[in-house]
Amino acid sequence: MTSLRFYGGVNEIGGNKIFLKDKDTSIFLDFGMSLMAKKQYYSTPFLSPRNEKSLLEFRILPRIDGVYKFDESERSLDAVFLSHSHADHSAYISFLKRDIPVYCGETTATILKALSEVQLSRLESDMREIQFRTFRTGDKIQVDSIEVEPIHVDHSVPGAYGFIIHTSSGAIVYTGDFRLHGTKPEMTEEFIEKAKEASPLAVITESTNMTGAEISSEPEVRKKVDKVVKQAPGLVLVDFGKADIDRLASFYRVALENNRFLAVTMRQAYLLDRLSRDSKLKIPNLRGESVLIFQKAKKKYYKWETETLKLGNIVDAARVSKMQNKVIMVCSFYDFEELLEIKPVPESCYILSASEPFDEEMEIDFDRLINWLEYYGLPQYHIHVSGHIMPLQLKEALKEISPKTIFPIHGVHQELFGKFMASVGSEIPVIEKQREYTIE
Ligand SMILES: [Zn+2]
Ligand SMILES: [Zn+2]
């Protein structure tokens, strides 16, 4: 018998934790942080959970026997498969017993390790001693009665995969997060094709964009950014997901074409350095002429920061202040203190290049952000394209795959989804968290 149980990702964007049991084999597909649940009680970094007890208390971390490192009972799980490195899919492996193998793409492991090394608090991003087992498209991973086939998809972070899971009852497909309008739609197309060939019993699909579908593409984002940068006589500040390499490449290209430098944060530089070791990824060269690493003013630097400052050309607030029309500066909300020294000249502007109002990759404190922009006279442009597939394209894909059952997760509009997808002809249950669904 095969069954599914959803411990997260139900009526929320992200927090995916899908328990799949086949005969005596148990795996989780993703083990993410529920940002929406966490936001109800916490506001990082001002109010953060101290340990797992509070996360368990508020059900931000579900109670599951035999999976957590702080739980002395025997291990009850055979493996975890991560679709990609976004925190809402991966962060809570931090709490897992270390003898549970975690399967993921090479890039995902690199990003998770690098980001955990630069994190202030390790509670929710502790990757030490995790047994990462990396895969590539084409691999087939056998875990007792289950065989998992990872296939690359395009998403707003490199190294994203969907899965075809071959169980004793038949195939189950999990999309992870995916899209058809990014820079590599052919990867997603290949995944859909393979999913169709598997004639699956069930598809577990993301359903993020049911009410906020905006049609655009990465090249369009680049063109819009270029337009703003061309018109702006002052400093251009920008914020986007730190592991969104496609977006970084777009800003880098605009910087080159407009004779500006792209100043990245130290965290970003650290991550880029790690990712640049993968020859399959096109990462802007940190030592190249057009990239600068922004050195944040601090009394004391961590070891990783000192290392990072040796990776390329450094610039600080005083220097940026003197060359404002020559720089596009990546500036997260937590770097805003630097504006006091930079003193943006009139006609500078701020580009938010992430989703609004909710983003899986970063927490945005809008009220305070606007106050800062107001104080410095910086208009805000919103230039972004979603990491998630659009409704009509998703419908086409599901029609192609034509499974018996569709489980819509990673979204907050299950009923809308069910009505819109009715003509696909699949059963579409309204999912209840932690209920068991038998697959046959
Ligand atoms: Zn997600
Ligand atoms: Zn994602």
DSSP for residue 182: S
Q: Of the ligands numbered here, which is closest to the C-alpha atom of 16?
A: 1
Final residue of a structural domain among 382, 397, 428: 382
What is the per-residue pLDDT for 333? 85
Distance 85 CA to ligand 2 centre (A): 7
Ion ligand 1, residue ranges at CB < 5 A = 14, 88, 177, 360
Final residue of a structural domain among 382, 412, 431: 382
Domain range for 374 is: 218-382
The CA radius of gyration of the chain, in Å to the nearest whole number, is 22
For the cut 80, the answer to whether the pLDDT of residue 357 exceeds it is no
Distance 13 CA to ligand 1 centre (A): 6
DSSP for residue 335: G
What is the per-residue pLDDT for 344? 97
Give the helix ranges, DSSP H, for 292-412: 303-308, 317-322, 339-342, 366-376, 391-401
Distance 86 CA to ligand 2 centre (A): 5
Distance 34 CA to ligand 2 centre (A): 12
Per-residue pLDDT band at 356 (split at 50, 70, 90): low
Element (H, E) at 245: helix 245-257
Final residue of a structural domain among 382, 399, 431: 382
Question: 3-class DSSP state for residue 285?
Answer: coil
Query: Same domain, yes or no, for 126 and 203?
Result: yes
Question: 3-class DSSP state for residue 293?
Answer: strand
* CATH number of the structural domain spanning residue 257: 3.40.50.10710
For the cut 70, the answer to whether the pLDDT of residue 359 exceeds it is no
96 contacts 71 by C-beta, under 8 angstroms:
no
Distance 141 CA to ligand 1 centre (A): 23
Query: Same domain, yes or no, for 298 and 201?
Result: no
Distance 360 CA to ligand 2 centre (A): 7
Q: Tell me the pLDDT tens digit for each residue of 308-320.
A: 999 999 999 999 9
Distance 214 CA to ligand 2 centre (A): 17
What is the per-residue pLDDT for 362? 67
The reported pTM is 0.96
Q: Tell me the pLDDT tens digit for each residue of 265-303.
A: 999 999 999 999 988 898 999 998 899 999 999 999 999
Distance 290 CA to ligand 1 centre (A): 32
* pLDDT, the chain, mean: 95
- Answer with the residue of higher pLDDT: 411 or 360: 411
Distance 89 CA to ligand 2 centre (A): 7
Any idea which of 117-126, 336-345, 381-390, 394-403 has the lowest mean pLDDT? 117-126
Query: Same domain, yes or no, for 174 and 40?
Result: yes
Query: Same domain, yes or no, for 423 and 333?
Result: no
* Positive or negative torsion for Cα 171, 209, 385, 110: negative
Residue located via tokens 């605009």: 254
Any idea which of 238-247, 353-362, 373-382 has the lowest mean pLDDT? 353-362
Residue located via tokens 């655009």: 216
32's CB contacts (< 8 A; 6+ apart) are: 8, 9, 14, 15, 16, 17, 86, 87, 88, 89, 90, 91, 92
413-418 — which CB contacts under 8 Å span 24+ positions?
Answer: 413/207, 413/210, 413/211, 414/11, 414/207, 416/210, 416/211, 417/207, 417/210
Distance 83 CA to ligand 2 centre (A): 9
